[in-house]
Structure formats: structure tokens, C-alpha cells
Chain A
């Protein structure tokens, strides 16, 4: 109990909250880049058999690529002194994590974008609107996945949790540090999903109301 109080009185909660902002930034970046790549693929998928034959294997590789390995690959392949016309283009740690999440985000965007397009073509605007909560869902999954950045030295939420845990030699104390971390991430994750459930519920209600009035 005293460990918990000590931790809550220390700078740990503040540091954790500040570091989790990095997770949100990484997730936001990855989602924007993923949608920029995924939505044209979704349009391509809906464009006919020829396009599908080209795009489907690409999506298969994107789905199969483990984020953690992609992150190490990018970290080691992109030169640290990359520049163009004197402008420094070397990506930062958070940017590398965001780039590593792009294959997942793009594949997710293409799959869900494709379904939304199909729904729209069938005349189901509500079905197409489900794309929006799905994107929010992807954002929260990306927030959780961005914690892999701790492995390459990005100072995000999990990195702060691990740093704090290192200061406590006893397993019991470490577990309290971890529990606070899980609570912080859980709060974000579960709130996000509650938001999605609410959005899906609202869309469903609109759909039922529209069907009733017709």
C-alpha cells in the first residue's frame, strides 16, 4: 500500500501521462499514413478482378508482416543521415514506430474501406458509416501497438513504466508499477471501445428508425 501511495505521490503518473501522449501521436501518424495508402487500395479492390489480383497479394504481405520486425528493419535500413537538398529527412524514433505500423493500418483501412464501399453501393449508408467507428477502433489498437517503440528507445508509455519498475527491486513493488501502467492504458483502451460501442449503437438506432419510417 505504501508503495502505491509513494508511486502516486511521485512524478510517475505525470511522466506516464506525458509519455502516453507520444503513443497517441504515433498512433495518429500511423493511422493517417495507413489510410492514405489503404483507401486507394480499397478503391482498387472494388475496381474489378484485375485490380483485385494485383492488390490482394500486397495486402496479404501487409497483414502478415509483424510490426516489431518491420520496426527493426526500418530502423536499420533508413540511413541516420538521410537528407534531400540539405533538408534532414532522417526519421525520429517515434516516426519509425509509426512507419512500422503503416502496413497494419493500411491493410485494415483497405479491408474496412472496401466493405464500406460495398455497403454504400448496396445502398446501405448506415453500413458504410460503420467505417468511422472501425477507424476509431484501429486508432486505439495502434495506441496499444505503439508501445513496441520502447524496444528501440522511444520514450513512450511502456518505456516509462519499465524505467520506473527498474527502480524497485522487489517483484511486489514492480507489479504495482506495472498495474498502474496497465490501468492507464486500460483506461484509454476501454474508454475508446466504449465510445465505439456507443457510436455503433447510435448508427444502428438511426438505421432501425430509417427502416421503420420507410
Chain B
């Protein structure tokens, strides 16, 4: 009796403890290995089926790559050599996240990894030529690459583009970046996003130059993959302690890939291994050991531990990033024209602005804005010339001194600096927009050239007074004569204003040079595109020169007739 009385509470406590420590299906307690999931079971079955066909299948040239891997006992993995924290090679020793993932994969397949060095340009071609069984080489998975190789999902990592800048400059989001310059690399998919936010870009050929450009002050901000910046921003990184990650955008899933043909079973095996490695936290623990960003892997671990993903894994997969911009309505005609040109003339200029809709929209807006800028700069130059001319021709010493000070200050400031000062003031008065940048550029160009032309008008009025013994009073006939006398100067400063308009791209005015730089940031064909800008602006300036010559001839005819 006493024993029963004693045993009942003990049993109750044991039952309660058991209930508390029981884990729901599909989840594992912290630090414990989860039980084998459906992916592990399916993998064992798949490997068992393939192994049952060996060794006879080893001699079959049409056999799947998985057969070759299991027959040779080696998994040939395409990896990079010089990508810090992900894949580096020093003295024959390879290390990094990609390398450790490859080792874990090979281990699950019961084989050993064999390294095949690849570069970004050779990652997919190596697979297509049979040089590697799988490539694990910091490769973003997008719809364009989907047609060239078979990507393994779930993805083994995800990077995003981050903005890196000085710690002392506060930057919370896109709003704080508007009108500023961000250094980035040519052809980066994320650049289209950057330029759509009224942010100017300074383009570099390769990412390796970005950290140096940040350090030597060439760039205040830079944008690139967080995976690239991870080693530079780490505790011993070259960008410490002055720089930090500001914010990220445009996440890109990274995929390991196998050849598009003849690798169905290998792909299936790797997909199952990837599901398992997310579920049991292998990817995450490798990432933590390597010191790379782990937010994505933490989310994926939670996701793949859920019963929903165990039931229907396809619902938990991330799609490839769609990087193919919509074509223009006339893209096919342009392509036919270019093909004809190459066949018959041997010329094949790159015209990215005609092939995709976003580029075409930027191009058309660039031409329209350039024309507005040129006409606006001419009008502003004329207006400021008349204003400064009147003030400097007035018979008061104070007004002449004022106009002299303005002219000297404007003459002393390089064009780029004047543009920046006027734009900075405009941004305080108005909310930043492309129209404000355009307006500020018109005012700056008008001020710089108009002040000089106005000074010439004032000097002409003074010389007329001396020659003709006129009084100090400024009359309309005197001002008209001063205008005619200083016509050459006025016209040359009008031409100068037109020539100076492309500089406005520096402060974010969306004219043609800025538009084509934006297009170039996510397209190819730089030389041809900048040649188009050069021809366009030479044409515009020539037109302005012609117009000025016509105006001069008209004024000379009128003054002769008068």
C-alpha cells in the first residue's frame, strides 16, 4: 500500500517529464540531431536503386552522372579559388563555405570530393563540357541561367546587394541616397534597381577595385554582393573600422548546378541532400563556422523543419530570380537589322537602349531631358546675361561692385563645384526629384555663363560711354548698343552653356549621358553607347553654333540697315 502510494506520484512526475520533453513531429530540440526525414529516406532509396545497377551501369556511356560518381567514388566539384570566406585556395588547401558544403555533400553520397577550379565565366561551360559533376561556385540562380544548367533547389545560400558606406554618414534607406553617387560594377543586375531610385552610379570593371575606391575616398558608397563584402567588413576586414553595411536589397538565391542533360538522378540526389542539410542545420553550422551572413540559412532551417515542407517540398522552394527585362516592341526588327549589318557591313554595334523596354524608356527620357536642359541653359544664360549686364552698366558704384563680386566668385569656381553648390541649395528648398536636379543644373549653367556674358555687356556699355562721351545714365539705346557690341561674347557663352550641359549628369539631372550610364550599368556595349552620346552632343553644340551664327548675321544685317 505504502509502495503504491509512493510509486503513483513518481510515475506521474515521470509521465509529465516525458510529456514535456516530447518533441512535435518534424522538429528537433536545440542541439540534438533530428530524426531522419522523408528526404533522407528518399535519398537512401535513390542511392540504393542506383547502386543496385552497379557495376554493370558503370560501362554505359548514356548512364546518369550519378552512376559515374558512385562508380568512381569521386564527386568532381567546380569551385572558385579566390572568393574570400566562400572558396579560397592557399598552398593546395581549400577552405570556405562552398568547399565545406561540397565536402558534406560528397560525404552524404558516400564519395570523396575532387576539386575543379572554375571562374565566373567558366562555371556553366565546365558543366556543359563534362568537366565537373556539380558546380558550387557563388552562382546566383536566375531565369537566364536556368536554360543553361540545372539548378539544385532548395538553394544552398542567398546573397543580397548591400550598400556599404562610412560609419559617420547616417543612411537608413533609399531616401537618404537620392542624388548621391554609388560605386558599383558594370553589368550587375541590382544596378537597374539602384538607378530607378534617383541614385547616380559610378561604374567599375571589377568588384575587387571597390574596397580600394572606398578606402582612398574615390567612392563614398559602394554596392555589391554581401558575400563579397563579408570578408572586408569582418572584424579584421580591410574596411574596418571606418565602413559598415547600410542596408540590403535584391536578394539572389545561390544554386549549385549540374549539367542540363544527363544529370537527372544526380540532381535529384543533390536536391534531397540539400533538403536534409537545411533541415538538420548542416548548412547553417557550416556558415556559422565560416563567419558569413546566416539570416537566410536560419530562415531556411526553420522552414525545412516544418511539417508542411516535409509533406510537399515543392511548396517551400524559392523560384529563380527573373532577370530578363521585357523587350521593346521593335526588338526583333532591331536584332534583324543588326544581323544584316554584321553580314553585309561587318559591323555589329551594341544597341542595348533599343532592345529592352526599361533601357528604351531611359533613353527616350534622356534625349527629351537633354533638349530641355540645353534650351533651358540657353534661356537662363541669356536671362542672367541681361540681368548682370544691366546691374554692371548702372551708374552706381555699389551695384557695379556687387556684380563684379558675383562674376569673380562664379569665375573662380570650377563648373562642377558651382553645379554642386546650386544643387545642394535647391535640395534644401525643394524635395529631391529629377526635375529639381534638372532645374538646378539650368540655373547653375545660366549663372556661370550669363555672369560672364553680363560682364561683357557692362564693359561694352562703359567703352561706349568713353568713346561717345555719354553721361553715366543707363539708357535703352546705350544698353542696346552695348548688347550689339558684346554680341560675340554673348554668343560664345551661349555655346559654352550648351557644351556644359552633360556635366549636369553629375548632380543627377537625368539627361542623355546619365541615362546611358544607367543603361550601361546593367547592359553591355559601352563603347558604342558612349559614341552615340558623343555624336549626339557634338550635333547639339554644332546646331547651337549654327543658330548663334544665324543670330549674329541677323543682328549685323539689322544694325547695317538701321
- The reply to whether A153 and B533 form a contact with Cβ atoms under 8 Å apart is no
Chain B residue contacts of A12, Cβ below 8 A:
none
List which A87-122 residues lie within 8 A (CB) of chain B: none
Chain B residue contacts of A161, Cβ below 8 A:
417
- The reply to whether B537 and A175 form a contact with Cβ atoms under 8 Å apart is no
Give which listed residue, A76, A163, A175, contacts B530 with CB less than 8 A: A76
- The reply to whether B416 and A148 form a contact with Cβ atoms under 8 Å apart is yes
| Secondary structure of the B contact surface, majority rule | helix
B168 within 8 A of partner (CB): yes
B561–chain A nearest beta-carbon distance, Å: 30
- The reply to whether B202 and A152 form a contact with Cβ atoms under 8 Å apart is yes
| Secondary structure of the A contact surface, majority rule | helix
Q: A66-B502, A151-B416 are in contact. Are A163 and B217 (CB under 8 A)?
A: yes
Give which listed residue, B205, B218, B412, B428, contacts A182 with CB less than 8 A: B412
Residue tally, chain B, CB below 8 Å to A: 48
- Give Cα A178 to B412, complex, Å: 12
Q: A66-B502, A147-B417, A148-B503 are in contact. Are A185 and B412 (CB under 8 A)?
A: yes
- The reply to whether A158 and B533 form a contact with Cβ atoms under 8 Å apart is no
- The reply to whether B527 and A77 form a contact with Cβ atoms under 8 Å apart is yes
- Give Cα A77 to B183, complex, Å: 19
A54 within 8 A of partner (CB): no
Chain A residue contacts of B415, Cβ below 8 A:
144-145, 147-148
Chain B residue contacts of A157, Cβ below 8 A:
414
- Give Cα A15 to B408, complex, Å: 24
Q: A64-B542, A185-B413 are in contact. Are A80 and B205 (CB under 8 A)?
A: yes
Chain A residue contacts of B513, Cβ below 8 A:
68-69, 72
Chain A residue contacts of B131, Cβ below 8 A:
none
A25 within 8 A of partner (CB): no
Q: Which residue of B lies closest to A146 (CB)?
A: B414
A21 within 8 A of partner (CB): no
A51-83 interface code vs B (CB 8 A; 1 in, 0 out): 000000000110111111110110011001000
- The reply to whether A60 and B530 form a contact with Cβ atoms under 8 Å apart is no
Q: A161-B417, A178-B420, A181-B417 are in contact. Are A68 and B217 (CB under 8 A)?
A: no
Q: A147-B415, A182-B412, A185-B412 are in contact. Are A66 and B217 (CB under 8 A)?
A: no
- The reply to whether A171 and B408 form a contact with Cβ atoms under 8 Å apart is no
B534 within 8 A of partner (CB): yes
Q: A163-B220, A166-B220, A190-B408 are in contact. Are A64 and B527 (CB under 8 A)?
A: no
Q: A60-B542, A77-B527, A171-B428 are in contact. Are A66 and B537 (CB under 8 A)?
A: yes
- The reply to whether A166 and B421 form a contact with Cβ atoms under 8 Å apart is no
List which A135-159 residues lie within 8 A (CB) of chain B: 144-145, 147-148, 150-153, 155, 157-159
A14 within 8 A of partner (CB): no
Residue tally, chain A, CB below 8 Å to B: 47
Give which listed residue, A60, A66, A72, contacts B499 with CB less than 8 A: A66
Chain B residue contacts of A198, Cβ below 8 A:
none
B180-214 interface code vs A (CB 8 A; 1 in, 0 out): 00010000000000000000001001000000010
Q: A66-B500, A69-B537, A171-B424 are in contact. Are A147 and B545 (CB under 8 A)?
A: no
Chain A residue contacts of B183, Cβ below 8 A:
153
A162 within 8 A of partner (CB): yes
- The reply to whether B530 and A77 form a contact with Cβ atoms under 8 Å apart is yes
Q: Which residue of B lies closest to A67 (CB)?
A: B499
- The reply to whether B530 and A73 form a contact with Cβ atoms under 8 Å apart is yes
Give which listed residue, A76, A145, A158, A163, contacts B526 with CB less than 8 A: A76
- The reply to whether A158 and B545 form a contact with Cβ atoms under 8 Å apart is no
- Give Cα A66 to B545, complex, Å: 13
A9 within 8 A of partner (CB): no
- Give Cα A175 to B413, complex, Å: 13
A49 within 8 A of partner (CB): no
Give which listed residue, A63, A68, A69, A186, contacts B409 with CB less than 8 A: A186
Chain A residue contacts of B220, Cβ below 8 A:
163, 166
B517 within 8 A of partner (CB): yes
- The reply to whether A72 and B517 form a contact with Cβ atoms under 8 Å apart is yes
B548–chain A nearest beta-carbon distance, Å: 12
List B residues at the A interface (Cβ < 8 Å): 168-170, 183, 202, 205, 213, 216-220, 408-409, 411-417, 420-421, 424-425, 428, 499-503, 505-506, 513, 517, 520, 526-527, 529-531, 533-534, 537-538, 541-542, 545
List A residues at the B interface (Cβ < 8 Å): 60-61, 63-70, 72-73, 76-77, 80, 144-145, 147-148, 150-153, 155, 157-163, 165-167, 169, 171, 174-175, 178, 181-183, 185-187, 189-190
Enumerate the 9 nearest inter-chain pairs by beta-carbon distance, A residue then B residue, closest first: A186-B412, A147-B414, A153-B218, A64-B541, A76-B526, A73-B530, A182-B413, A68-B502, A77-B527
